[in-house]
């Protein structure tokens, strides 16, 4: 009994801290209507991050991945899903990802042009503005749950949250908040 109290304490703390920051996060979720997630009584990881092999360098922070796995495991445990014992087949596989996409939106009026200004109402010196496109970076954190047998997808959830430039305590808090927000959409 004493061991249970000691292991439940850190789990409860992780969940308490993570739920405090998830209220403002936008989550999208999708569920396979043909399979009930209650089949997931145990899990194994579907894989791990891989370095980007495309044109750019890999940007995955292994500490963020570790924090993400810890938060997912804690939330799965709260749902009654435990890690599969070594050598045993898991009922479900858990996949996850962190990404960042760049959104570029049009240009804006700029420079000198006709309009009100000096010298007089129709002289040069009109509107000033930003002449480049508006560039926005959006971060995404996703979790996918698959049935092990047949790799049938069961649940997908994604939250907009940029983890690209966070470290330390801030990273841990953001990861916990993101995962708590994702699991708020976990099917029952």
**Statement: residue 37 has pLDDT above 60:** yes
The pLDDT value given to residue 158: 96
Q: Which helix (H) or strand (E) holds 124?
A: none
**Statement: residue 99 has pLDDT above 80:** yes
Across the strands, what pairs with 105? Answer: 134
Query: In angstroms, how far apart are the furthest CA atoms of the chain?
Result: 85
Categorize the per-residue pLDDT at 96 as very low, low, confident or very high, splitting at 50, 70 and 90: very high
Tell me the mean pLDDT in the region 104-129.
55
Asked whether the whole model's pTM tops 0.85, one would answer: no
DSSP letter (8 states) at residue 132 = S
Q: Which residues neighbour 83 within 8 Å (Cβ) at sequence distance 6 or greater?
A: 42, 43, 44, 73, 90
Ordered by start, the domain boundaries in the chain are 2-96+144-157+167-183
Name the more confident of 156 and 149: 156
Asked if residues 154 and 47 have their Cβ atoms less than 8 Å apart, the reply is no
CA 38 from centre of chain: 23
How far is residue 109 from each of residues 121, 131, 132, measured CA to CA in Å?
A: 19, 6, 9
């Amino acid at each position: 009994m004493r061991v249970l109290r000691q292991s439940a304490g850190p789990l409860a703390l992780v969940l308490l801290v993570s739920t405090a920051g998830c209220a403002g996060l936008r989550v999208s979720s999708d569920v396979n209507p043909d399979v009930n997630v209650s089949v997931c009584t145990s899990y194994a990881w579907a894989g791990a991050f891989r370095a980007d092999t495309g044109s750019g360098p890999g940007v995955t922070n292994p500490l963020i991945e570790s924090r993400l796995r810890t938060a997912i495991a804690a939330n799965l445990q709260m749902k009654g899903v435990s890690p599969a014992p070594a050598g045993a087949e898991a009922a479900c596989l858990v996949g996850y990802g962190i990404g960042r996409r760049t959104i570029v939106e049009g240009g804006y009026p700029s420079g000198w042009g006709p309009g009100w200004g000096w010298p007089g109402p129709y002289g040069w010196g009109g509107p000033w503005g930003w002449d480049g496109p508006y560039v926005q970076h959006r971060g995404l954190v996703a979790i996918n749950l698959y049935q092990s047998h047949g790799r049938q997808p069961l649940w997908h959830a994604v939250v907009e949250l940029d983890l690209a430039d966070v470290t330390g305590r801030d990273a841990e808090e953001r990861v916990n908040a993101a995962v708590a927000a994702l699991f708020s959409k976990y099917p029952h």
